[in-house]
Every structure is written in C-alpha cells, then in structure tokens.
Structure 1
C-alpha cells in the first residue's frame, strides 16, 4: 500500500516575530518580496476585446452551504446572427476575485499562428455564438460557481432560436465547474440540451503548486500582514484551491498529510454523487502538456532559490522525488528558524503538463536571478488534463504515462488532444485549437 504523502516542519514559523528582532523580520519579509496575492494570474492586456451584444447578470440556481454565487456572461453573436442560435459556453477558470470577460476574450482570441484569425473569430465565422461565462468570485467553492453555470445553460436554452444543441465547457477550473454543472443537471433530471462538453487544461485529477511556495506565502503573510487587502496566501487558502490542488498545506507550521483536506474530500464525494462526469454529451479534453510521457527536465530536489544575504539564508527546492524527510525549504537568520521536508511526494515540478511561472514570479518579486528554465514548472499534469481513469488520491504514480496510444477505457473523456510541447497553462496553442475546431466541424 502506498505511503501517505506528508510534509513536516521542523522549526515552527509561529512566533518568529518574538525570536527575531524587528529588523530581522523586516529583512526576511523584504527578501520574500512585496507582491500581492501570490499565484494569481496577471491580466491579459494585449489585443482588443470585441464588445458583446448582450451581457447577462446571473445568479446561481441553488446555494452551496448557504452561499448563492453570482456571475455574468458576455454573449458574442456569430456573423450573420441577430439572435442566439448555436451557443458555445466557455467558462472562466481559477484566479482570485471576479472574472474579467474582456480579458478572457483577449486571451482566447489572440493570434496563435501567422495569418490565422483568433480562435473566437473563427468560431464566429463558423456560425457559432460564443458565451463567455464569468464569476464574481472565482476562488469560492466549485459547486457554488457551478450553480451559476447551470443558470447560464438554462438562459442559453431559453433565449436560443431553433433547436441546435449546446457546446459547454471551460478553461482550467472552468472545465470542472461546467463538468459538475452538467452532471448535476443530469442527476436532477434537468435537460441541459448539450451535445458536447469540453475542458481546456482542466485539472480533473488535481493541480500542483509547489508545497514550499505555498508555505512561503503563509510565512510572508505572517511576517508582513497586509491591512489594505487580501494577504499573500489568500488564493492558496481559498475553497477552490483546496478542492483542486493535489497537495495542500494550511499554514507555514503545518505538519501532516498533504492530500487530506475536508473540502477536497467533499468535492470528490459530490462529483461521485452526481455521476462523476456528465454522461450525455460527447466529452472532449485538451492538455497544454505533452502526451509522450517525457518530463520537462526540471531536476527534482534542486535549489531554485538560494539566497545568502548577510546572516539571512533562504533556500527553496523543486519537489524531490519521493523519499522520506526530503528538504524542500529553509529560512535561517543565524540559527535555524524554519525548515520543511516532505515524504512520499512525487516530483510534480518536472512532470509533463501545462506550466505555471510561480517560481519566476516569486524570483522577480525577490529581485533574484534564476535560470530561465527554472521559472515555470508543472501546474496541471497532462494525465490530469486528459482525465486519466484513476483514483484522485492515487494517480500521481502515472505522471509520466505515455498517452499517445491510451486505451479508451483509460480516460473519462471520449477524445482528447495533448500539446506538442509543454506550454503555459491555458495558453492558446495551435495544435489544441486546430484539433478543437475539427471536433466542432460536424456540430
């Protein structure tokens, strides 16, 4: 039986302020940088956003734990359409705060190949009406925002002219939101009239943010609390992060299992209760990671940050590959202050998958120079994006599985496409977009 993945903090961060001088605390906080919420994706500012023909204000069809989520949808009619006719709903993904639907348009419509129109412009030419679905709080529970997606699907059905079926899906966590929404509708015998479901680099089995970076976010927040807004670890502690991260730590002091948190357990149980995946639609998936099983070359256990400044030392490493009590981070100011080690945790950073530049963003905030190839590591492993048929708590053993000839019963999807190289999570990639357009051609 596999050993339980865990993390152990040898010297607790709690009370650091009392053991260090005010100057020392300030030096450590300064070394960690002064950026806002860590891991929140920066907005897409390049390019123009097409104004929508309609904007729908949406309220979830039911509360989750007493909370009724809200959102909005931007409706972009296809060329020659005066009303909604062939709706494709594309849900926004994981981030902190409200969706920016203009940003979502710019992201998915930016040129991905010379001489090619943007993806959304191509959909318009094909006569497909695009509904961009956003949420007022992207970081709350997936089930809450899924209720907003249910409302969007019902609104699209009500306002559609004719009887063309829908295409419904999303990018990143948006694929999980719509997956749950459609499955819940089927479970409750609500007709979603959806022919195709799609996910774009969605973490069906889980996503990865390095455990040591999660801890450093908490540590920074303890040393340098913000009074003018959310703290550095606000995204990490959010319900959505807890639900979709394979490994999660609750604070800088935490020692114990990293796959055992109540919100993730509840999320997986809820998915099973409603049917796991919607059964009626043809299910498509796209992965920003490669499918050949070869990793990105990041060396497990290697120090990425190794800062020595007077008496201050800060070391943070790529996740080591399994083993027991493998050091992932150290903060010293003279005597040891805080050290962290993991046991039985796979080397996620180097796995094939859609990448996140979490290391690079932190290096920039700290004013550190690191190797360019160390800036980004795996965020959504390819085996997660293609919904490999595995237990969500045990799938990490297959991080490097060759997906090029995967048997049909080894994935929960009907068809999927992997990128030709590991690209940034949710990046608009020619191989993925061209494949998706081909899948929509017969609709």
Structure 2
C-alpha cells in the first residue's frame, strides 16, 4: 500500500515568534526582504502592445458562492476585417489581481524566431480575430471567472458576422476556466458554437509550488504582517491557488498529511457535474515542458536558498524524492527554531514541465545569490498540461513518463504538443507556435 505524502514541522514553542527575541524576529523578517505577494509574476513590460479595435466590459452570467466575477476583453481584428468574423478567445491565467491585457499581448506575441511575426500577429494574418480575455480578480474561484468566460463567448457570438464557429481556450489557469465554461454551457444546453478548445500549459491534473516556499510565505507574513495591502501568502491562500495545487499548505506550522484543499475537491466535483471536459470541440493541449521524461537539472534535496554562516541560518531545499522525514527547510540561531521535512513526496521541482521562477523570485526578494539553474522549477508538469488520463486528486507517480508514444486513450485531449525543452510557463516557443498554427489552418 502506497504511503500518503506528509509534512512534518518542528518548532520549539507554540509559534516561531514565541521562541524568539524581538531582535531575532526582526532579523528573520528583514532577511525575507520585500513585502509583496509571493509567486505573483511581474507583467511583461518590454515590447509593443497592439491597440485593440474594441474593448468589452464583462460581468459573469451567474455568481459562485455569492461572488459575481467581472472582467474585460480586448478585441484585435484580423487584417481586412471591420468586425468579428473568426473569433479566437484566449483567456488569461494564474496570477494576483486584475489581468493586464497589454502585458498579455506582449507575452503572447513575443518574438520566438528571427524574422517571424509573433504568434498573435500570425493569427491575425491568417484571418483570425483575437479576443484576449482578462479577469478583474485572477485569484478568485475558477467557477466565478468561468462565468465571465461564458459572458465573453456569448458576446463574441452576438458580435460575430456570419456563422464561423469559435476557437476558445486559455493559458495556464485560463485553460481550466474556459474548459469549465464550455462544459457548463453544454450541460445547460447553451450552444457555444465552439469548434476547437485549446489549453496552453494548463494544470489539468494540478500544479506545484514548493511546499517549503509556501511555508516561508506564511512564516514571513506572520512575523512581519503588512498593514497596507495583501500579505506575502495572499496568492497561496487564494481560491485559485487552492483549486489548482496538488499539495496546498495552510500555514507555516502545519504538520500531517499533505492533501488538496477542500476547494480543489469541490471544484473537481463541480467539473465532473458539468461533464469533465466539453464534448463538442476538438481539444488541443500545449505543454511548455518536454515529453521525453527529462526535467530541469534540479537534484532532489539540494540547498538552494542559503543565508550561509552567521547569526541567522535559513535554508530551503529542492523537493527531495520520496523517503521519510527528508528535510526541506530550516531556520535557526545556532540551533533550529523551525524545521520542515516531508515524507513520500515526489521530486516535483525537477519534473518535466512548464517552469516558474519560484526559488528565483524568493531569492531576489531576500537578496540572496542563487545559481541560474536553480531559479526555476516545475510549475505545471507535462503530464498535467497534456491531461494524462489520471485522477487529479491523486499524487502522480507518472511525473517523469515518456509521453512521445502515448496511446490516444491515455489523454483526455484529442491532440497535444510538448515543447523541445522545459521552458517558462506560458511562454511562446517555436515548436508550440508552429504546431498551434498548423492546428488552426483550415478552420
């Protein structure tokens, strides 16, 4: 019988702070550096953003748990079009706060090959009208933002001239939002008129943020709480993070089983109720990670964040591979005042997949030098992005599977493409862009 993943935290007193002097508390808080929301990637500021031909203000067609979400969309018409004819809706993904649609354009249209237009410009040249969909609270419930996606689909159908079907999808969490939206519309017998659905590095099975970094975000927040805005752990505790993470930590001192949040269980239950995936569209998946089973060079258990020798010692490690009571982090003054260890947790950080600059962002905030190869680890494993036919609530044993000859019935998608390397989550590469363009040719 497989052992269940656990996390074990040892502190000298009821809380970390109660075992420290005020000077030591301040020293730890200062070592953590900037007070900002951790794991919220900064928007892309370099490059030009196209001017939209239209802007839509959107309100979800129904609330979720009393929350009615809102959003907006920028419409970029294809060359020669004066109105929508062939709409492709591209939804924004995981993050904190409102979507920045100009930054979303820059990321989606970033040059990936010399002399080749960006992906979004290519689509417009092909006669495709691009609709970038954003959300006012990216961190809220998937079901709530899915209602905004439904409103966007209905708006596109109302504005479209002619009867060309839609293509609908999204990057990162945007792929889950649109997946739920289309499936919900089908379950309610609402005709979404969508011929193809796509997900771009979407965590269909789940996503990963290192457990030790989740813990440190809570610890920093408890020792040095913000009074003028969101705390360091605000994104981690958000509904969206709870709904997508395999292992979610609710505090710096949590010990016991590492499980999915109840919000994740509720979301997957709701997703099953509406049909799991939309059935009518042809389903495409793009993965920013490789499909050959080879992940980034992140040896399990390696110390990555290390203040070195001094009055304060702080260490955070790459997630070890399974085993019992494998240390992932410690803080102390001569002797540890807080330590954390995991048992039976797989080496997620080094799995093939789209990467997130998790350790790098924390190191930069703390002013700690870090080797470039340790900055980013796996965020969306390739098996998750290609929707391997597995139970999303289970901790996956197939993280390093070779997906190159995967039988068709082993994925919930109709077709997928993995990248040639393990590249940044949501980034556009030559391999993925060319495959996506080919899939849309003839639509």
**Does 2:292 align with 1:264?**
no
Q: In the TM superposition, what is the alpha-carbon distance from 1:311 to its structure 2 partner?
A: 2.3
Compared CA separation, residues 14 and 138, structure 1 to 2 (3 A): farther
**Does 2:185 align with 1:185?**
yes
> SS where residue 190 of structure 1 aligns?
coil
Number of aligned positions between the proteins? 443
**Does 2:402 align with 1:379?**
no
Q: Structure 1 residue runs of 4+, over 2 Å off?
A: 12-19, 308-311
Match in the other structure for 2:243: 243
> SS where residue 177 of structure 1 aligns?
helix
Match in the other structure for 2:37: 37
Q: d(CA) in 2 for partners of 1:262 and 1:102?
A: 34
Q: In the TM superposition, what is the alpha-carbon distance from 1:21 to its structure 2 partner?
A: 1.7
- Give the conservation status (yes or no) of the 8 Å contact 2:246–2:395: no
Match in the other structure for 1:406: 406
Q: d(CA) in 2 for partners of 1:361 and 1:148?
A: 30
Q: In the TM superposition, what is the alpha-carbon distance from 1:295 to its structure 2 partner?
A: 2.1
| 1:114-153 residue CA offsets vs partner (Å, 9 max, x unmatched) | 0001111111111100000000000001000000000000
Matches within 5 A, 1:297-312: 297-312=297-312
- Give the conservation status (yes or no) of the 8 Å contact 1:55–1:74: yes
- Give the conservation status (yes or no) of the 8 Å contact 1:14–1:253: no
- Give the conservation status (yes or no) of the 8 Å contact 2:417–2:435: yes
- Unaligned regions of 5+ residues in structure 2, if any? none
Matches within 5 A, 1:175-324: 175-324=175-324
**Does 2:128 align with 1:124?**
no
Q: In the TM superposition, what is the alpha-carbon distance from 1:16 to its structure 2 partner?
A: 2.7
- Give the conservation status (yes or no) of the 8 Å contact 2:360–2:374: yes
| 1:280-315 residue CA offsets vs partner (Å, 9 max, x unmatched) | 000000000000011222100111122235221111
Q: In the TM superposition, what is the alpha-carbon distance from 1:365 to its structure 2 partner?
A: 1.6
TM-score (norm 2): 0.98
Q: d(CA) in 2 for partners of 1:13 and 1:359?
A: 28
- Give the conservation status (yes or no) of the 8 Å contact 1:207–1:245: yes
Q: In the TM superposition, what is the alpha-carbon distance from 1:436 to its structure 2 partner?
A: 0.1
- Give the conservation status (yes or no) of the 8 Å contact 1:200–1:286: yes
- Give the conservation status (yes or no) of the 8 Å contact 2:248–2:259: yes
TM-score (norm 1): 0.98
Q: d(CA) in 2 for partners of 1:409 and 1:395?
A: 20
> SS where residue 57 of structure 1 aligns?
strand
Q: d(CA) in 1 for partners of 2:196 and 2:12?
A: 50
Match in the other structure for 2:332: 332
Q: d(CA) in 2 for partners of 1:130 and 1:176?
A: 19
Q: In the TM superposition, what is the alpha-carbon distance from 1:334 to its structure 2 partner?
A: 3.1
> SS where residue 10 of structure 1 aligns?
strand
